[in-house]
Amino acid sequence: MTSIYFISTYKPILCGIADYLKFLLKEIPKEKWKVISFDLKNFQDSLGRLTHEKKESSKQVWYGITKRRAPNLNEILKGIKKFSKGKEKYILWFQHEFGIWKNLRGFARLIRELDNLKIKKNISLHTIHFQSKETPWGMGKREYNLLKAIFPWVDAITVFSRGSYLAVKKAFPQHINKTHILRHGIHYFPRIIKMSKDEARRKVYQFLIEKSDLEEEKKTALKKENIFLDPKILLIGSAGFVVPHKNTEKLFLMGKRLQKAFPREKVVALYIGIPREKSKKKLNYSQKLKKMHDGKNIFFLETWLPEELLPIFQKALDINFYWPKRCTQSGMLAYILGTGNLIAGRDMEGSGEMLKEAGQIVDKDFEKLILKIKKVISNPNLSKEIEKKTLKYAKKYSWENQALRHYKLAAKIISYPNRNEG
């Protein structure tokens, strides 16, 4: 039997990749996977956050990596030793993002050291750009430098988009046989798809007023403006981490522009989330957004939506808005697509590729996107067509299907001869 030993952040670490892996592993039998993850105390000490979820069973996950900047080979080997059984065939499958693996050289050194032990390795690269101006191939400089450092020592890498695959092909044609496309898994929420927008809004409102840790001042504003209970209000919004690259200012600007486009309706722009890490930069950005909140047409609510409520919130919106400064792929889009609801997003990188394939509202130009939103909002039949295409995409790339594709690729990589054996 083939087993996959994932090396990554994992619940209860508050991290998009931890969520990604959690959803993927729900669809793989437990005897076929293990996770080697980070020591939780050390992760918190390096400005990371934890959720209220419980740690996974020690039979499945070993929380033993202590350093993000200079990962230690002996710690990885300790995790392997904890799980490996006799002649079991396994592959190490890293989830890579620069916010997790802080030091390029340290990560590359670890991969090289593991190669000396003839252990099969695959790396899922979550942040490979293909429209960057930093290199002739469209990827960022540090992404190029990372691939240059690790390609000789890995058996395979996976990327999330066709664009990323082509960028790798241009930069490293000699390694294209090691490169595979594995799309981001997509949720599918049958109950929420059938839920009315009014019901979704009531549920979100009830949570925010009765169960969230919002300041009383903002709860009072929600009650007064009635933004969730007035069906005449056009609600555009988003949720997630409060980080500068999310470009949340554009959401509030879009709200103002749509108000001009629909003068007879009240348009409210809403963002719900918390800073991903307790760094000064992210906390300063949170303060900036708080100043933009006016409690009437712009709402910035600094609280965290429970996992089960997030897709209900996305269903409650008339438009889910997505215009980040950079967007290689997105776990948040994976949620929204599973509700079938409208997304107005930026045609950039892998996220733009995803939105176009799913039939959503997308453009490279902010002004043109406004016109497209206006056209769809004014024509309910277009909304229905978009929902149909979106749900078809969600089924095609469901977590269940993507889990199967992961396991098939793992079995294929394990069957490769060791590189030094030809």
130 and 160: one domain? Answer: yes
**β strands within 68-184, DSSP E:** 89-96, 121-125, 156-159, 179-181
Residue indicated by tokens 């045609």: 347
Structural domain range at position 179: 2-185+399-421
357 and 415: one domain? Answer: no
345 and 406: one domain? Answer: no
**The whole model's pTM is what?**
0.89
pLDDT digits (tens, 9 = 90+) for 291-342: 999 999 999 999 999 989 999 999 999 999 999 988 887 888 999 999 999 9
The yes-or-no verdict on residue 45 having pLDDT over 70 is no
197 and 166: one domain? Answer: no
DSSP, collapsed to helix, strand or coil, labels residue 235 as: strand
pLDDT digits (tens, 9 = 90+) for 215-262: 999 999 999 999 999 999 999 999 998 889 899 999 999 999 999 999
Q: Does the bond joining 12 to the residue before it have cis omega, within 30 degrees of 0?
A: yes
338 and 313: one domain? Answer: yes
Do the beta carbons of residue 258 and residue 236 sit within 8 Å?
Answer: yes
**β strands within 53-197, DSSP E:** 61-65, 89-96, 121-125, 156-159, 179-181
Query: 133 Cβ partners below 8 Å, 6+ apart?
Result: none
213 and 169: one domain? Answer: no
Q: What does the mean pLDDT of the chain come to?
A: 92
285 and 407: one domain? Answer: no
CATH classification of the domain holding 212: 3.40.50.2000
214 and 266: one domain? Answer: yes
- The Cα–Cα gap between 218 and 224 comes to 10
Q: Residue 399 — pLDDT band, cuts 50, 70, 90? A: very high
- The Cα–Cα gap between 324 and 345 comes to 9
Q: Which amino acid is at 64?
A: G
307 and 404: one domain? Answer: no
The yes-or-no verdict on residue 403 having pLDDT over 70 is yes
State the total domains in the chain.
Answer: 2
265: exposed, middle or buried (C-beta count within 10 Å: 0-12, 13-18, 19+)?
middle
Query: 328 Cβ partners below 8 Å, 6+ apart?
Result: 126, 127, 128, 129, 160, 161, 164, 349, 350, 351
179 and 254: one domain? Answer: no
295 and 403: one domain? Answer: no
pLDDT digits (tens, 9 = 90+) for 91-107: 999 999 998 888 899 99
143 and 211: one domain? Answer: no
Q: Which residues pair with 89 in a beta bridge?
A: 2
